[in-house]
Chain A
Amino acid sequence: EAGVTQFPSHSVIEKGQTVTLRCDPISGHDNLYWYRRVMGKEIKFLLHFVKESKQDESGMPNNRFLAERTGGTYSTLKVQPAELEDSGVYFCASSTGIFDNEQFFGPGTRLTVL
């Protein structure tokens, strides 16, 4: 069974540009999460989808971040316009609909904003 995949693995952009990150969860997983780790800090929650609906977006930093999960399959996270403080590693995770089941993480996308 394929794990959670993320694309791209690395992205280097300039301040003010737009970047779109993609996450493909494990097939059949209803729950999809986005997290971010800024260098040296904790992994912080951004938002949670249940199928195509946003269940919790309390961690989204501001309205420059837009997440979508059309059709309840893959998800995208767009940052527009990117700022220097957006640099970090963005992780996607997925889990089944059963409560407390393990969240499986993807390898992350390392975003560098210059």
Chain B
Amino acid sequence: DQQVKQNSPSLSVQEGRISILNCDYTNSMFDYFLWYKKYPAEGPTFLISISSIKDKNEDGRFTVFLNKSAKHLSLHIVPSQPGDSAVYFCAAKRLGSNYKLTFGKGTLLTVNP
């Protein structure tokens, strides 16, 4: 039973355009959400996070939006660059703890020059 779902296995965008990666969750106990980026043969690296008390968090070209009522979050990358090509994982946990992360299956983003 997947508690974090990324329904798009892949996404292809042109350099300079916006990339939008989506994630849905089912567990109401989750109140902290993270995006990780993974290159081949490397481990996931933290990108950006958001807690449930916010609906938006921005860091440079990366913005994460959270819609709690819909149990949906999205990662926007603007403008997209070829170096952004990687697998992006959505993850969730309970805030205020060092609990485990629950991950989605990942979305492979390809940014074409």
Contacts and interface: CB of A to CB of B under 8 A. Distances in A.
Interface residues of B, number: 25
A43 B98 contact: no
Contact of B96 (A44, A50, A99, A106): A99
A48 B100 CA distance: 7
B59 interface: no
Contact of A95 (B32, B95, B98, B104): B98
A42 B103 contact: yes
A45 interface: yes
Interface stretch (B13-21, B40-48, B63-71, B73-81): B40-48
B102 to A, nearest CB: 7
Interface in A37-52: 40-45, 48, 50
Given A42-B4, A42-B103, A4 B43 contact: yes
A41 B2 CA distance: 10
Contact of A43 (B41, B89, B96): B89
A102 B110 CA distance: 26
Contact of A108 (B36, B43, B95, B103): B43
A1 to B, nearest CB: 15
Contact of B105 (A42, A55, A100): A42
Contact of A48 (B32, B36, B89, B98): B98
Closest 6 CB pairs of A and B: A105-B43, A45-B100, A43-B103, A102-B46, A42-B105, A42-B103
Given A99-B96, A99-B97, A100-B98, 16 more contacts: A4-B43, A33-B100, A35-B101, A41-B105, A42-B2, A42-B103, A43-B44, A44-B103, A59-B100, A91-B43, A97-B98, A100-B96, A100-B97, A101-B98, A103-B46, A105-B45
